[in-house]
Amino acid sequence: MTTTATAAATGGTTGGTTGGTTGGTTTPTRRPLELDQAVRTVLGAGSALREAQVDALSGLTDSDTLLVARSGAGKTAVYAVATLTSDRLTVVVSPLLALQRDQVAALEEDGLRAAAVSSALTPRRQREALQDAVDGRLDVLLLGPEQLVRPTVVETLAEATVGLVVVDEAHCVSEWGHDFRPDYLHVGAAVERLGGPRVLAVTATASAQVRQEVVDRLAMRSPRVLVHDADRPNIWLGARASASPEERDAAVVEAAVATAGAGIVYARTHRHVEELAEALARAGRPAVTYHAGLARKAREDAEDRFLQGDADLVVATSAFGMGVDRPDVRFVLHAGPPTSLDAYYQEVGRAGRDGEPSLAVLFYRPDDFGLNHYLRSGGGSRPATLRTVLEAARDRPGTREDLAERTGISARSLSRALGALVSTGAVEEHDGVLQPEHREGRQRPVTAVLHAVAEAREHAHAMDRSRVELVRTYADTSDCRRRLLLELLGEDRPERCGLCDSCDAGTSHDVDDAPLRAGQTVEHREWGPGTVSVVEAERVTVLFEDRGYVTLDTTIALDAGLLVPAEE
C-alpha cells in the first residue's frame, strides 16, 4: 500500500530488521512528510485520525504524554505518524520479543524503516541495527527496557538524533517495575542520556493509581495525561465462583467448548496452562499453548497459528496477547483471577476487536486470591545487596558496568537495587554515572537509607495487596461489572450497562442518586484524604495514598462519620 510510495517520496529505502543497509552504503536520512501525507501513509488514503490520535499528536512535540486509549484506538499510529513528520529517530521500549517482532513487521508495512535490538539477535546483528539507527538508516528502533539501559546501547544511541522515546504497553511499568522488570525504573535516566527527547507512554487501560506510577517511574516532565473512552460495549462481562480448582477448571472447559469462534483461555502458571490444554483436548476442543516455559520457536509458532487462523483456541499465561490483533476473537476466559483489574481489562480487550458480540468470563474460587497476593509480593533486594551497592557508589561514583565489576553483583540484581536506591534518593544518576546523594553536604546513615527502602517497599506491597482485593470486589459484586471496571479507569458511569451477568440477573442498580460519586474527594477519619474510585449500590471503593484501594459499606461509613465528603 504505502511502502513503495513512501520510499520514493523520501529518497530512502524500506528495509528489513537491520534497517535497509544496502551494499554497505548509507541511506540518506528520510525527509519529513507533511502531516496529511504521513496520515495517508500510515492509515491509508481517505482515512482520518481519530480523536485520541489527534489529541496525542497535538502537543507531542511540546510535552511528555501519557495516552490511555482502548484497544483498537490506533496508539501505534500516533508514533508512526509522529516519526514520519520528523527527521529524527524514534526509540520504542517494548516489553516482549514477540511483540517487537509484530511491531517491526507492522511498521515496515506502513512504510517505516524499523528494526529491533534484542537477545534474539546475534551481537553482530545488534551492533548493525544500532549503527543503522545512528547513521539515519532507521526511522524506528524497538528494544526492551533491559536493552535500553545497557551502557553500550545507550552510549551508541546518544550519537543518534532521537526525537521521541515511546514506552509501549506502559501499564507494565506499574505491573512489573517493582521486581520483575526493574530496568523500567531506569528508563527516565536513559532518556536524559539521549538528550532529553519527548516521551510518549501508551497503554489500553490504566487506573488513576497506575497512571501516576507510570508518570513517576518514567520521570515524565510536566506530562499531559490523556484518558479516552475505555468502554468495549460489545463484550459481555461475567464472573462465576467455584468451590474447588476441579470445579473451576471444568467450568472453563465447558464454556470454551460451548462458545463458538476463536478464543483465549488465561491461566496463571505454566503447569495450569498444560493441564487446561489437556482437558480441552479430551473434551474435543484442542488448543495451542503459550507460556514462558516453552522454547521461543514454540511460542512464535503458537502465536502465528492463532493469528493466521490455523488454530482457534490458545491457552496461555498473561504474556500472550500484547500486540496480538486478531479481530474475530469471540471469547476470553480466565481460569483464576488476574493480579489487578488493570491487567484483567487489558486481557479482556483482546476479544471482539471487530466490534461483533463477544464475551469475557472470570472463573474463580475464593482461595485463588491467596496466590495473587503471593504473586504480587515478590521480594526486593536483600539489605546486604543494597548496602554493598550504596557503599560502592559512595566509595567512588561510576557507571553500571563499573559498579557491577566492583561489587560482583549480577546485572538484574544490580538494576533492582539501584532502582530502590534511586527511588528513595540515596543514589542519583546523571549522564550514566551513579553517585550518592548530597543533602547539604551530608549523607544519610546507611541504616536510614535501608529503612527508607523498606518503608517504600511496604507501601508498594500495600498498594499491590489492595489491587488484588479490588479484583475480589469485581468478582464478588452483584452490581454492574462494567461500571466497576470503567469507574476504576476514571470514567463516571452511574447507569447500568445491560451487558453483564449482574444486569442480566436484575441485581444491578443505577447510582445516579448515590451519596458519593466516582472521582469525588473524601476524608477518612483514620486514613486521611482519598478519591472515590468505584460506586456500587451499597459499597464504595476509595483510593487512599497510603493504603491503596479500600472497599467500604457506604451507609455505615457515612453514618458513622468514618468517611466525610470533601467540601466543593
Cα–Cα distance, 117 to 433 (Å, whole number): 24
Q: State which fold the 383-456 domain adopts.
A: Arc Repressor Mutant, subunit A (1.10.10)
DSSP 442: B
Q: Which amino acid is at 443?
A: Q
Q: Where are the domains of the chain?
A: 3-227, 235-375, 383-456, 495-565
pLDDT higher than threshold 60 for residue 28: no
The residue-averaged pLDDT of 226-243 equals 93
**What pTM did the predictor assign?**
0.81
Q: What is the pLDDT of residue 488?
A: 85
Q: How far apart are CA 491 and CA 510, in angstroms?
A: 15
Q: How many CB atoms lie within 10 A of CB 8?
A: 9
Query: How buried is 370 (Cβ within 10 angstroms: 0-12 exposed, 13-18 middle, 19+ buried)?
Result: exposed
The answer to whether the beta carbons of residues 83 and 164 sit under 8 Å apart is yes
pLDDT at 331 (0 to 100): 98
User: In this structure, are residues 214 and 166 in contact, taking their beta carbons and an 8 Å threshold?
Assistant: no
Least confident of 123-137, 151-165, 224-238, 483-497: 483-497
Structure-block grid coordinates of residue 52: 485520541
Which of 19-28, 373-382, 390-399, 417-426 has the weakest average pLDDT? 19-28
Q: Name residue 445's amino acid.
A: P
Model pLDDT, residue 457:
85
Question: Rounded distance, CA 501 to CA 442, Å?
Answer: 60
Q: Which CATH architecture has domain 3-227?
A: 3-Layer(aba) Sandwich (3.40)
pLDDT for 540 equals: 93
Q: Which range, of 128-132, 188-192, 379-383, averages the lowest pLDDT?
A: 379-383
For 287: left if phi > 0, alpha if psi spans -120 to 50, otherwise beta; the answer is beta
What is the pLDDT averaged over residues 28-46? 83
Of residues 230 and 265, more confidently modeled:
265
- Confidence at residue 21, expressed as pLDDT on a 0 to 100 scale: 39
**Is the pLDDT assigned to residue 26 strictly greater than 60?**
no
What is the per-residue pLDDT for 374?
52
pLDDT tier for residue 23 given thresholds of 50, 70 and 90? very low
What pLDDT was estimated at residue 547?
Answer: 86
- DSSP string computed for 296-348: HHHHHHHHHHHHTTS-SEEEE-TTTTTT---TTEEEEEEES--S-HHHHHHHH
pLDDT number for residue 399: 87
CA distance linking residue 447 with residue 387, whole number of Å: 9
At 444, the pLDDT band (50, 70, 90 cuts) reads confident
Q: Which superfamily is assigned to 235-375 in CATH?
A: P-loop containing nucleotide triphosphate hydrolases (3.40.50.300)
Instruction: Give just the sign of the alpha carbon dihedral 11, 14, 18, 23.
Output: negative
pLDDT digits (tens, 9 = 90+) for 511-547: 988 999 888 999 999 999 999 999 998 999 999 988 8
> Which of 50, 33, 21 is CA-nearest to residue 229?
50
Count of CB atoms within 10 A of residue 225's CB?
Answer: 18
Model confidence at 224: pLDDT above 90: yes
pLDDT in tens, 130-182: 999 999 999 999 999 889 988 889 999 999 999 999 999 888 888 765 556 77
Domains 3-227 and 383-456 share a fold: no
Q: Residue 274: its pLDDT value, please?
A: 97
Q: Cell for 281?
A: 483436548
Mean pLDDT rounded to a whole number for the chain: 86
Q: Of all residues in the chain, what percent carry a pLDDT higher than 90? A: 51
State the average pLDDT over residues 321-329. Answer: 82
- Range from 79-83, 114-118, 137-141, 467-471 carrying the lowest mean pLDDT: 467-471
Coil, strand, or helix at residue 96? Answer: coil
309: left (phi over 0), alpha (psi -120 to 50) or beta: left
The CATH code belonging to domain 495-565 is 2.30.30.60
* Residue 116: closest CA among 141, 90, 136: 141
- CB atoms < 10 A from the CB of 124, how many? 8
